[in-house]
Amino acid sequence: MIFKSFTVFLLSLIFGLAGVSAQAILAPPFGLQWGDSMDKVLGWAEREKLDIVINIKGNEPELRVIRVTSSTGQLPRHKAVALETMYHRGRLFEVTLHYGEKGVKPEKLRVDFDKLKKDLVFKYGRFSPNNKRAEKSDGFVSESVSYHVEPVKGLMLMMLFTEMEDTLRKQKSARFSLLYRNQNILP
């Protein structure tokens, strides 16, 4: 009887921990922490000799957006081509990674997007479809699809894939973004 109780306890513990790992706390990438100041990203970008653009909106002075890119393509030791961080009153609440170098075929980027999504599903749980759009105008066709997951209330991860086609020149391009957001930092 004791062995049976112990087995039930052990199995429930194992399955319980598996659920916890699937619902891991959503931490931002690049070693950032929610609530960090802008100094961390600015210091890293300066040490790596990356390009920095700081945007302060006149109608929302409490918001700051920092965009970091590399003149050579991908960010150091990463596949992303740009990193955007958003701050409310100096505290980090959103991080977006943008993928898609010039010259990369949309089909390859779609494979990369699907692989990353699969990896993130294992870590954070199943993504829900968010939006799907197709637009045509003046010889251009744009298609986008997005998904999101909220592993913990207020912490959201969103993926967006966009493909553009110039029907006149028969050219295609694509990019995708991975957005981490902590709504709990905002008032």
Reported as a single tens digit per residue, the pLDDT across 60-95 is 999 999 999 999 999 999 999 999 999 999 999 999
Domain residues of the chain, as ranges? 6-185
Dihedrals phi, psi of 44, to nearest 5 degrees: -60, -45
Q: What is the pLDDT of residue 168?
A: 86
What is the pLDDT of the chain when averaged over all its residues?
87
- Report the C-alpha gap between 119 and 91 in whole angstroms: 28
Q: How many CB atoms lie within 10 A of CB 65?
A: 16
Q: How would residue 46 be classed by pLDDT, with cut points 50, 70 and 90?
A: very high
Whole-prediction pTM? 0.82
Q: What share of the chain is helix, strand, coil (3-state, %, to 5)?
A: 30, 45, 30
DSSP, collapsed to helix, strand or coil, labels residue 104 as coil
Share of the chain above pLDDT 70, in %: 87
Dihedrals phi, psi of 140, to nearest 5 degrees: -120, 140
What is the pLDDT averaged over residues 16-31? 61
Q: How would residue 103 be classed by pLDDT, with cut points 50, 70 and 90?
A: confident
pLDDT at 13 over 80: no
